[in-house]
Amino acid sequence: MKVEARGIRKVFNRRVIFRDVSFSLEEGKVLLVTGRNGSGKSTLVKIVSHVLSPTAGSVTFTDGGGPVKGAVARHLGLVSPYLQLYDEFTASEHLDMAMTLRGLRPDPAGADALLERVGLFPRRNDPVRTYSSGMKQRLKYAFALLHRPAVLLLDEPMSNLDAEGIGMVRGVMDEQRAAGILVVATNDLTDLERYDERVDLNGGKP
Amino acid sequence: MSAPVHTGRPSWIRSALAVFLKDWNSELRTRYAVSALLMFVLTTIAIVLFALGTEGAPPHALAGMLWVVIFFSGMSGLARIFVTEEERGTAMTLQLTAPPSAVYTGKLLFNLVLVYAVNTVAVLLFFFFIQGFEVRTVSIFLVTLFLGSTGLAVMATLIAAIIAKANTKGTLFPVLSFPLLLPLLLAVIKATQLAAEGAFFAEAGGEFQILISYIGAVLTVSYLVFDYVWKD
């Protein structure tokens, strides 16, 4: 799997958010995206995940020299503050949907193991509206990881998490680094100490 | 080495059904759309009833009023299918998981089920409360109700997807829907009048052709444009 971004530019209402963003990521590589508030970190993550179109440039996912088969979404997992879950459904139902919406068979055993890992197994049958913001963040990780994506995108990965949750996320990052591609967008450089490539959306400004 | 992506061929049908079941289960728990639609059915039937008083109206006028009830109840609830995803911020969750055509299909299936159910209730209530409304050719009426409901759901689902990202969703939906649904409304009203007058089934053939063509055209356009509507 390879992710390649070439000359991405994004303009909102005539305001240039960023221009000429390029990078190339192969398996085992980590990209760090930094920039102050409003610099377009989340916009870049959305463009990489194909939910937003760039004004110019392109993001391509290739596997074995050719474009990936089927929808890019099947190879992606995203955790971000603006990704919302369904309040009326339980954690188990969300993980069932995480598979079936992607057209895959449900994986109850995998879902239970993942819920155990993110610390939500005892509350797996409670509706999400009863969850704290930290619990919702943990569920987002399970939702993003169950289909074992080749590319994992984390936008502000530690938000709302306690120390135990942060430890869990560090473990997830290490595993993804070993098995696939990891993209992390953050203001806090302590979130990610080791990376292979960096996109600084401040454009060199402090 | 590649990450161990889940094996098994992704199924588009499973994806579309998952979208439908998600909305179905959500509706069973919240009952937002059904409540809104049924309230509008009751309200519009009550207004028609008050307007007619004890004098009643000729069957061809009542045929038009039935579709006024159906149109306004549809306008109150069918847009929710996409509007709630945008309002709750869950649209991106769907964008990240299901293919656009599967999302449209799942949402359309849900709106079809909703429209068939609510329109059945609306017709039963209309027959019960509105005196003088009689259907002499039942076959024309049933086919008209089926095709009209289908056309309403197909067009409303597309318009809902278009207006969901706008700031003035509530106003935009009926404003945009009326001109786009006008060919459908004219055909269903005419066909319902034929049913009330006791016409032969073949006499409504022209209206049925219009309705089938309308549904086919809107479905084709929907699948062609939905990717663009849904993405940005």
Q: Do A27 and B3 touch (CB under 8 A)?
A: yes
Chain A within 8 Å of B224 (Cβ-Cβ)?
no
pLDDT of residue B2: 40
Dist CA A145 CA A117 (whole Å): 11
Interface mutation vs chain A, best among B13, B28, B96, B231, most A CBs within 10 Å: B96
Over residues B196-212, the mean pLDDT reads 94
Question: Predicted confidence band at A60 (pLDDT cuts at 50, 70, 90)?
Answer: very high
pLDDT of residue A117: 94
Dist CA A192 CA B118 (whole Å): 54
| Residues from chain A contacting residue B104 (CB–CB below 8 Å) | none
Answer whether B196's CB lies under 8 Å from B62's CB.
Answer: yes
Tokens standing for A152? 């994992």
Over residues B49-58, the mean pLDDT reads 81
Nearest-Cα distance to chain B for A142, in Å, is 13
Question: Predicted confidence band at B207 (pLDDT cuts at 50, 70, 90)?
Answer: very high
Nearest-Cα distance to chain A for B160, in Å, is 19
Q: Do A180 and B90 touch (CB under 8 A)?
A: no
Nearest CA in chain A to B28: A88
User: Lowest mean pLDDT: which of A168-172, B66-70, B161-165, B192-196?
Assistant: B161-165
Over residues A102-129, the mean pLDDT reads 94
pLDDT of residue A5: 93
Parallel, antiparallel, or unpaired: how do β-strands A197-200 and A15-26 relate?
unpaired
Interhelix angle A108-118/A133-145, nearest 10 degrees: 140
Parallel, antiparallel, or unpaired: how do β-strands A56-63 and A2-12 relate?
antiparallel
Does residue B48 surpass a pLDDT of 90? no
| Residues from chain B contacting residue A98 (CB–CB below 8 Å) | 97
Residue A103 corresponds to which amino acid? G
pLDDT of residue B222: 94
Does residue A194 surpass a pLDDT of 70? yes
Query: Which residues does B117 contact at the CB level (< 8 Å), separation at least 6?
Result: B34
Q: Which of B44, B229, B73 is nearest to B148 (CA)?
A: B73
User: Lowest mean pLDDT: which of B39-43, B75-79, B175-179, B186-190?
Assistant: B75-79
Q: What b/e string do you get for B180-196 counting C-beta neighbours within 10 Å, with b at 16 or more?
A: ebebbbebbbbbbbbbb
Over residues A82-93, the mean pLDDT reads 94
Q: Name the more confident of A54 and A66.
A: A54
Q: Which of B117, B122, B123, B116 is nearest to B146 (CA)?
A: B116
- A16 has which bridge partners? A11
Q: Do B22 and A101 touch (CB under 8 A)?
A: yes
Question: Predicted confidence band at B78 (pLDDT cuts at 50, 70, 90)?
Answer: confident
Altogether, the residues listed in chain A come to a count of: 206
| Residues from chain A contacting residue B89 (CB–CB below 8 Å) | 82-84
pLDDT tens column, A98-114: 999 999 999 999 999 99
Sign of the CA dihedral running A127, A43, A157, A96: positive
Does residue B22 surpass a pLDDT of 90? yes
A197-200, strands of its sheet edge to edge: A76-79, A151-155, A181-185, A30-34, A197-200
Parallel, antiparallel, or unpaired: how do β-strands A76-79 and A151-155 relate?
parallel
Answer whether B136's CB lies under 8 Å from B197's CB.
Answer: yes
Percent of chain A surpassing pLDDT 90? 71
Nearest-Cα distance to chain B for A183, in Å, is 15
Domains of chain A: 2-200 (3.40.50.300)
Question: Predicted confidence band at A203 (pLDDT cuts at 50, 70, 90)?
Answer: low
CA angle A94/B153/B14 to nearest 5° reads 35
CB-nearest partner of B10 from A46, A76, A102: A102
Where do the DSSP E strands lie in chain B? none
Does residue B38 surpass a pLDDT of 90? no
Chain A within 8 Å of B28 (Cβ-Cβ)?
no
Does residue A8 surpass a pLDDT of 90? yes
Where do the DSSP E strands lie in B76-231? none
Q: Cα dist. A58→A156, B6, B127 in Å?
A: 24, 27, 58
Chain A within 8 Å of B29 (Cβ-Cβ)?
yes
Chain B within 8 Å of A94 (Cβ-Cβ)?
no
Over residues B28-37, the mean pLDDT reads 84
pLDDT of residue B59: 82
CA angle B166/B168/B172 to nearest 5° reads 90
Question: Predicted confidence band at B6 (pLDDT cuts at 50, 70, 90)?
Answer: low
User: Phi-psi category of A127—alpha, beta or left, where left has phi over 0 and alpha has psi -120 to 50?
Assistant: beta
Nearest CA in chain A to B10: A103
pLDDT of residue A123: 95
Dist CA B63 CA B193 (whole Å): 6
Q: Do B14 and A83 touch (CB under 8 A)?
A: no
Nearest-Cα distance to chain A for B78, in Å, is 19
Q: Name the more confident of B3 and B74.
A: B74
Average pLDDT, chain B: 88
Q: Which of B39, B19, B29 is nearest to B81 (CA)?
A: B19
Dist CA A38 CA A49 (whole Å): 19
Does residue A160 surpass a pLDDT of 70? yes
pLDDT of residue B146: 97
Does residue A49 surpass a pLDDT of 60? yes
Answer whether A127's CB lies under 8 Å from A87's CB.
Answer: yes
Over residues A29-42, the mean pLDDT reads 91
CB-nearest partner of B6 from A71, A101, A148: A148
User: Lowest mean pLDDT: which of A42-46, A152-156, B36-40?
Assistant: B36-40
pLDDT tens column, B178-188: 889 999 999 99
Dist CA A30 CA A192 (whole Å): 9
pLDDT of residue A189: 79
pLDDT tens column, B115-160: 999 999 999 999 998 888 889 999 999 999 999 999 999 999 999 9
User: Phi-psi category of A81—alpha, beta or left, where left has phi over 0 and alpha has psi -120 to 50?
Assistant: alpha
pLDDT tens column, A131-153: 999 999 999 999 999 999 999 99
